[in-house]
C-alpha cells in the first residue's frame, strides 16, 4: 500500500521538528522551512501565493499540517504587518491552494485567542484576543473555517526534550544550576507534553474529526506554580523561585491572565493528555537517557 503524503508547513520549528520525527514513521513527509534554510526541508515562504501553489502542486499531499507562525508575542506586537502577513495572508494562501482538493488540513492555533478572563475555555467559548498574536492567529482560524473538514487544533505551552530556550526547560536548567528563577503568578496556562501532542495529531489525521479541538495538558496552573512543580520533580531548591507579574515588566504584548483550555472534547475523541507533573516525570526520564 502506498504511504499517505503529509506536508508539514513550519517543520523547522519546535513542534514541527517533533511532529516530523513522529509522522515520518508512517507517512511520506515533506517538511518546509522559512526563513532559515535547513537541509532536507523545502524552502517555502507561505506569504508568497505562487510559491505555495507550486509547493502543493509538486508534493501533492493528502494531509497538510500548518504550523508556520511568528510565535514571539512581543515581535508580533511590534511588527503587526509581519504577524498579519504570516498568520492571515499565509494561511489564506494555503487555504486557497488546498480548497476543492481532497486534502485534510490541520491548522495549529493557540490559547491566546481568548482574553483570559474566564479560563477553562472549551471549543464553544467565543474568542476575544487581546494581543496581535492572538488576533492574527484567530483571523487565520477564520480563513481555515472556509475549508470543509479542516481541523483547528488549539494548544498551549508545549514542552519536551527539544524545547531549549522555552520557559519550562529554561527553568529546569536554571534551578539545576542553582540560579534564581522569576515566574509569573498572573499567567495561568495548560502546558502540554510534546509526545501527547504529536500522538494527538497522529490520531486526529487518521480520524474523521473536523472542527475546533483543544489539545492541551490536563493541568491548569500559573507559571509560578509550574516552577514549583519543576523544582519538586527535579529535586531542586524551591526558594530559588521568586514570584513576579507579567504586568510588572514592560512587555510589548499584553499576556492574557487565564487561558487554560478544557480538553474534554479531545479526551472524548480518545486523545490522552497527562498532567503537568506526569509530563515533567517523562521529560526527566528522557533527559537522563
> d(Cα 39, Cα 44) in Å, to the nearest integer?
13
- Tell me if residue 82 falls in helix, strand or coil: helix
Closest CA relative to residue 194, chosen from 14, 25, 49: 14
Report, in Å, the least distance between residue 50 CB and ligand NAP.
14
Report, in Å, the least distance between residue 68 CB and ligand NAP.
3
Site string for ligand NAP, 154-183 (x = CB under 6 A): -xxxx-------------------------
Residue count of the chain, please give it.
289
Report, in Å, the least distance between residue 37 CB and ligand NAP.
8
Would the CA dihedral through 164, 227, 212, 132 be positive or negative? negative
The answer to the question of residue 197 lying near ligand NAP (CB under 6 A) is no
The answer to the question of residue 191 lying near ligand NAP (CB under 6 A) is no
Q: Which is nearer to ligand NAP, 16 or 104 (CB)?
A: 16
Q: Which is nearer to ligand NAP, 33 or 181 (CB)?
A: 33
Q: Which is nearer to ligand NAP, 137 or 282 (CB)?
A: 137
The answer to the question of residue 110 lying near ligand NAP (CB under 6 A) is yes
Q: Which is nearer to ligand NAP, 133 or 224 (CB)?
A: 133
Instruction: Tell me which DSSP letter residue 258 carries.
Output: B
Site string for ligand NAP, 14-43 (x = CB under 6 A): xxx----------------xxxx-------
Q: How many residues bind ligand NAP (CB under 6 A)?
A: 27
Contact 188, 222 (CB under 8 A): yes
Q: Which residue is nearest to ligand NAP (CB)?
A: 13
> d(Cα 36, Cα 15) in Å, to the nearest integer?
16
- Where are the extended beta strands (E) located within the chain? 5-9, 28-33, 42-43, 63-66, 104-110, 151-155, 158-159, 181-184, 188-189, 192-193, 211-214, 221-222, 241-244
Which set of grid coordinates corresponds to residue 244? 513576579
**Please, which of residues 38-77 interact with ligand NAP by CB under 6 A?**
44-47, 67-69, 71
Q: Which is nearer to ligand NAP, 22 or 47 (CB)?
A: 47
Q: Which is nearer to ligand NAP, 162 or 173 (CB)?
A: 162
Would the CA dihedral through 165, 169, 174, 180 be positive or negative? positive
Query: For residue 83, what are the contacts with CB-CB under 8 A and spacing of at least 6?
Result: 70, 75, 76, 132, 133, 136
Which set of grid coordinates corresponds to residue 92? 489564506
Report, in Å, the least distance between residue 107 CB and ligand NAP.
8
Of 6-14, 53-61, 237-245, 246-254, the window that binds ligand NAP (rule: CB under 6 A) is 6-14
Instruction: Tell me which DSSP letter residue 261 carries.
Output: B
Query: For residue 286, what are the contacts with CB-CB under 8 A and spacing of at least 6?
Result: 160, 161
Report, in Å, the least distance between residue 135 CB and ligand NAP.
12
The answer to the question of residue 83 lying near ligand NAP (CB under 6 A) is no
> Which residues make up the interface to ligand NAP (CB under 6 A)?
10, 12-16, 33-36, 44-47, 67-69, 71, 86, 90, 108, 110, 137, 155-158
Amino acid at each position: 500500500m502506498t504511504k499517505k503524503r503529509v506536508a508539514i508547513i513550519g517543520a523547522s520549528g519546535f513542534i514541527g521538528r517533533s511532529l516530523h520525527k513522529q509522522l515520518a514513521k508512517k507517512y511520506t513527509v515533506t517538511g518546509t522551512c522559512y526563513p532559515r534554510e535547513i537541509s532536507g526541508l523545502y524552502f517555502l515562504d507561505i506569504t508568497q501565493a505562487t510559491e505555495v501553489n507550486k509547493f502543493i502542486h509538486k508534493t501533492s499531499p493528502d494531509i497538510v499540517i500548518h504550523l508556520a507562525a511568528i510565535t514571539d508575542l512581543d515581535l508580533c506586537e511590534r511588527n503587526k504587518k509581519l504577524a498579519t502577513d504570516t498568520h492571515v495572508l499565509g494561511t489564506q494562501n494555503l487555504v486557497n491552494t488546498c480548497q476543492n482538493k481532497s486534502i485534510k488540513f490541520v491548522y495549529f492555533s493557540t490559547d491566546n485567542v481568548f482574553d483570559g478572563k474566564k479560563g477553562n475555555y472549551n471549543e464553544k467559548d467565543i474568542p476575544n484576543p487581546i494581543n496581535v498574536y492572538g488576533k492574527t492567529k484567530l483571523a487565520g482560524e477564520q480563513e481555515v473555517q472556509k475549508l470543509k473538514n479542516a481541523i483547528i487544533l488549539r494548544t498551549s505551552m508545549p514542552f519536551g526534550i527539544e524545547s531549549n530556550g522555552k520557559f519550562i526547560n529554561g527553568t529546569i536548567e536554571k534551578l539545576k544550576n542553582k540560579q534564581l528563577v522569576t515566574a509569573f503568578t498572573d499567567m495561568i496556562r495548560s502546558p502540554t507534553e510534546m509526545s501527547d501532542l504529536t500522538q494527538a495529531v497522529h490520531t486526529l489525521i487518521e480520524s474523521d474529526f473536523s472542527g475546533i479541538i483543544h489539545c492541551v495538558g490536563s493541568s491548569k496552573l500559573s507559571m509560578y506554580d509550574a516552577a514549583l512543580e519543576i523544582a519538586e520533580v527535579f529535586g531542586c531548591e524551591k526558594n530559588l523561585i521568586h514570584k513576579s507579574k507579567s504586568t510588572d515588566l514592560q512587555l510589548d504584548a499584553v499576556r492574557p491572565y487565564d487561558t487554560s483550555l478544557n480538553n474534554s472534547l479531545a479526551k472524548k475523541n480518545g486523545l490522552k493528555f497527562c498532567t503537568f507533573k506526569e509530563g515533567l516525570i517523562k521529560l526527566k526520564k528522557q533527559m537522563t537517557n
